[in-house]
Chains A and B, each alone.
Chain A
């Protein structure tokens, strides 16, 4: 009997003690940085994509939403250190200035205007920006090309680089990176080694040097970097980064045709023309025949575009120099920079751009010689079209660059982030890893208003792909970012 009553008292006592123990204790989910990883000092190396560039500029809000900053937040969960960035001050939070949607037209098109207040621009001629002083682990330099990493004068020519250094400092990017002494790094560099050529529409006006176009061995801005130079620069950079045993991740260069700057305008033009890309039917309503139109081009020094009676493939553009070609929207792309010119009602596609325009000095009463021809050739400018040949040139170079980036990463045991696969997956599936996101211009959530750089949501998605590659390569369990739960923003709507 006594034994039983002691037990009962014990139960009651246990109940009282339990009151104090009501708080549940959940162990933290098993995460680890992997045996070989050290996130004490994570340094990000790259260009504008790494700096957090968006909407055509670099500004404080997007700097805080750069993919390296997102990564650093996750590294912190596994014991990583702080990640200082070269943030613009609150008073100069609009940084270099950027684009924003300020309103809508009556037809529902966005009105995009630049932000011009609270800037950090200290010299509007040179583009110099307010200097950053203090620690900095985000070494992303907008505009930087792989070919420039061993060129000490770039430090003074690129305002984003210049602001990170003491005044009048000339320094190689490789040395700059080496001095940061990372224990872990990410590297996403090389896009600009083809992008400059792409955004110029493959137009060499103003930068042409014989034998140095489209590919240059002299690192001329606006050209494609010659592959041997790219390779040598890549080696210099990766060797510097891994000199003290740091591990890291290297991202490849995505296909140029995935960005809205290249992809977005063709469908818009088609939509504006009633659903199909505008074709040209000869004879024109003015009575002009195909032969006459071809002649107009030859009189101007171009080759014949090959117009025929009946429906023709699309408008004519300058492919290069004095060579013109009829456009094929499946393989040739209008660039976003040409939107205004192409959609102008007075001088755009609907007013004869891409075919012919009236010759103002034509005198029907007194036609004299070939110069007095009723119409003039009116081809679309070279710099707003990226045609099949230019794309092929870019793709050949991109492929060579990516081969080098992958092999350099493999030799050092680094993780590889396939940016091409990421963007293609998003385009095909309208999302990735449970996040709804696509490449449509403005509405898709991936790309920002400049049609080239990403939104914070896009950068967070990219950060997750870096984490997945790091986890696979280094057998780590760094947690991903819950993009949906955080509801990270795409383009800002007013």
Chain B
């Protein structure tokens, strides 16, 4: 029977976590409703996690949707007792997936996914104690993935995809100057791009069971010609002024600019999914995602002209590989689907490496979702709630200029994602 495919867009948020924002993974709205599980299911919006998944589609389909991400971080410094908060604007990642089967029940399926990850802005309140680490970080990105899947037989499907990533990053923070208690403003702005691939296989030993394994390669997001701007640099006389000016290249009228390059490794992911559908009404999923976070050892910017004596600004990150485990379920009553799930996302960030843009901690996610089918059209909604454990950044690691990678203190983060999507299968 024709499966009702409800999907919404919301993949690959994990890809951006290390560069800022949260480790929120958003698959299709159906999957998000089931605790981001179900990657073994034949579903258009699973293409990003397992390109083989579209191989078992009957024909083809289109899915489009939007997520609204509300996130808040609170921070209390070790030295002091004030509480500082972020004022993050709501982020609205949207997605579009399409898969085409060249006719009914054909073995080949081709698909195209256009995905903007939740691409967030982390904005701390003005004048917060960590303003020399970060004031604001904005990330935008779009992934384009053409996918090809081949259903070998009733039990096995394989698939492959190619990913092209385009993005931009804007980081703003204050720089404490060693004279007169003054602060200059720093802004790093750049466009990034990168390419990657994924491979997957889906195996159905019996009709009720689907097992999917997929590997997505690391993408090196390269920023090739970013602009670094330092402004509000006071113009001082004499040796004090000369000493200050020597730190900033191309200084004119209190503003210094130079270009920079950087490379952010977006780690490889190995996904394992298993789904059990004992009858038409029930689906149970178990998903595990192993992310090769250890690719992210440091965040480095290379300036064209020396800033404060060096062209290199390298901040250690030292992330560890981690596995995410989730379970989810769906129950159908006629045209209505009810979903729930949860997953545990242990943090790749070791002690002392929490940063103001990614003050990560072990996170527990819970979700619920609803779906409604009208003929070939499906409308889905879900809510995902993520709670990061309160975590303290102490014995903070230092960068190559002996500045701490992030402020020392205790962080607490919560995130809520509301998602709405529509899909149509043909």
Q: Which residues of A contact B (CB under 8 A)?
A: 4-5, 7-9, 11-16, 18-19, 21-26, 28-29, 31, 77, 101, 103-104, 108, 110, 456-457, 479-482, 484-490, 492-494
Contacts and interface: CB of A to CB of B under 8 A. Distances in A.
25 contacts: A7-B340, A8-B368, A11-B367, A12-B340, A19-B70, A22-B414, A24-B73, A24-B74, A26-B83, A26-B410, A28-B83, A29-B410, A108-B238, A108-B239, A479-B79, A480-B79, A484-B176, A486-B181, A487-B183, A488-B181, A489-B179, A493-B179, A493-B240, A494-B236, A494-B238
Interface stretch (B111-119, B139-147, B214-222, B331-339): B331-339
Contact of A8 (B338, B366, B418): B338
A493 B129 contact: no
Contact of A493 (B74, B82, B236): B236
A18 B129 contact: no
Given A26-B410, A494-B238, 13 more contacts: A8-B331, A9-B338, A11-B340, A18-B383, A19-B416, A22-B385, A22-B415, A26-B411, A26-B412, A103-B238, A108-B238, A482-B79, A485-B130
B81 interface: yes
A481 B81 CA distance: 10
B337 to A, nearest CB: 9
Given A24-B414, A104-B238, A482-B129, A493 B180 contact: yes
Interface in B369-388: 369-370, 382-385
B383 A16 contact: yes
Task: Say which size band chain B's interface belongs to.
Answer: 35 or more
A7 B366 CA distance: 14
A22 B70 CA distance: 8
B413 interface: yes
A24 B80 contact: no
A15 B385 CA distance: 7
Contact of B80 (A19, A101, A456, A479): A479
Contacts of A15: 366-368, 382-385
A16 B73 CA distance: 20
B236 A24 contact: no
Nearest to B238: A104
B368 A14 contact: yes
A479 B410 CA distance: 14
Interface of B: 70-83, 129-132, 176-177, 179-183, 236-241, 329, 331, 333, 338-340, 366-370, 382-385, 390, 407, 409-416, 418
A17 to B, nearest CB: 9
Contacts of B329: 8
Contact of B390 (A26, A28, A110): A26
B339 A25 contact: no
Contacts of B81: 28-29, 31, 77, 479
Given A108-B239, A493-B240, A28 B383 contact: no
- For the complex of A and B, the 7 pairs showing the least CB-CB separation, nearest first, are A104-B238, A489-B181, A15-B383, A493-B240, A15-B368, A12-B368, A11-B340
Nearest to B338: A8
Contacts of A31: 81
Contacts of A492: 180
A274 B71 CA distance: 63
Contacts of B410: 26, 29
B370 A12 contact: yes
A364 to B, nearest CB: 48
A5 B236 contact: no
A466 to B, nearest CB: 15
Contacts of B383: 12, 15-16, 18-19
A31 B79 CA distance: 10
A457 B179 CA distance: 11
A479 B240 CA distance: 33
Contacts of B179: 489-490, 493
Contacts of A110: 238
A493 B331 contact: no
A121 B411 CA distance: 51
A103 B409 CA distance: 42
A403 B366 CA distance: 65
B412 A493 contact: no
A103 B241 CA distance: 11
B80 A22 contact: no
Contacts of A480: 79-80
B35 to A, nearest CB: 10
A480 B79 CA distance: 6
B72 A26 contact: no
Contacts of B368: 8, 11-15
Contacts of B132: 485
Nearest to A16: B383
Contacts of B415: 22
B258 to A, nearest CB: 23
Which interface residue of A11, A103, A104 has the most chain B CB atoms within 10 A?
A11
A485 B129 contact: yes
Contact of A104 (B74, B183, B239, B407): B239
A438 to B, nearest CB: 13
A11 B341 CA distance: 9
Contacts of A4: 331
B149 to A, nearest CB: 31
Contacts of A482: 77, 79-80, 129
Contacts of B333: 5
Contacts of A456: 181
A493 B78 contact: no
